[in-house]
Amino acid sequence: MSEITILVIEDDPAVRRGIVDVLEYAGYRTLEAADGHVGMELALKANYRLLLLDLVMPGPSGFQILEALKRKRPGQAVIILSARGEENDRVRGLTTGADDYVVKPFSMKELLARVDAVLRRTCERAAPADLRPLPGGTVDFKERVIHFTAGRREELSEREADLLRYLLDSQGRIVSREEILRNLWGLDPDRTETRTIDMHIMHLRTKLGDKDQSLLATVRGKGYRWTP
């Protein structure tokens, strides 16, 4: 079975069961929710690669879940599943952050093709170059080494390299401890001591020579921001 997990939020039990069965037969792991309340909880806190999201259901709507994801988990891959095929709904869904929009009724063969296409695109999106410029040097993520123009070099642990890459990719956005634990390391923030993030940030600052936090700033009560 694939290590890729797909979350299905769909209130129609027959449709949800059919989607889950097809995904699992294709080798994916699945999580599922039958309404917007459970769906919102899983969408924001669970570990998954792709979300298949119905728009109209009891509790928070699909659009409300999309808005919450845009704030809490930007970049999350989402395919909307909806009987509402009007242009305005499609445009609203795509501009709110969805990667694709599938109108019901749809064939399971078509759905799998859309799933595969979105997963390919998001994997490509998440595969940046191994060499990245830094103020005063370059980081080689393949070798996990920072090379400074003055000749100094600093080796990074795997966790440090992953964290630095994630912060660089955030492009100045504030990144919370919870987001790092959930999206980067696949841990449940409610069950993990957040001091582990603080320690990795401290080690990164030391290796970057960032004593005054001019590169990697702490935003009190919110998280961290890369500000070159």
CA atoms within 13 A on the CB side of 45: 11
Task: List pLDDT tens digits, range 119-163.
Answer: 887 765 555 567 889 988 999 988 899 999 988 999 999 999 989
Provide the pLDDT for residue 214. 92
Last residue of a domain, one of 77, 110, 125: 125
Count CB-CB contacts under 10 A for residue 47.
15
Do residues 110 and 34 both lie within one domain? Answer: yes
| Number of folded domains that form the chain | 2
The larger pLDDT score, comparing residue 92 to residue 62, is at 62
Question: CATH code at 78?
Answer: 3.40.50.2300
Last residue of a domain, one of 125, 151, 173: 125
Provide the pLDDT for residue 132. 87
Task: List pLDDT tens digits, range 184-208.
Answer: 777 777 766 667 888 999 999 999 9
Provide the pLDDT for residue 2. 64
Average pLDDT of the segment spanning 15-32? 95
Provide the pLDDT for residue 32. 96
* 41 pLDDT above the threshold of 90: yes
Do residues 75 and 50 both lie within one domain? Answer: yes
Q: Which residues touch 173 (CB under 8 Å, ≥6 apart)?
A: 74, 225
Do residues 77 and 144 both lie within one domain? Answer: no
Q: What separation in angstroms does the CA of 3 have from each of 26, 111, 121, 174, 179?
A: 12, 19, 17, 29, 20
- Cβ atoms of residues 60 and 34 within 8 Å: no
- Cβ atoms of residues 27 and 1 within 8 Å: yes
Last residue of a domain, one of 90, 125, 160: 125
Q: Which residues constitute the domain of residue 193?
A: 131-226
Average pLDDT of the segment spanning 35-60? 92
- Cβ atoms of residues 94 and 101 within 8 Å: yes
- Cβ atoms of residues 7 and 51 within 8 Å: yes
* 24 pLDDT above the threshold of 70: yes
Do residues 69 and 148 both lie within one domain? Answer: no
Compute the distance between CA of residue 97 and CA of residue 195 in angstroms, rounded to an integer: 31
Do residues 139 and 110 both lie within one domain? Answer: no
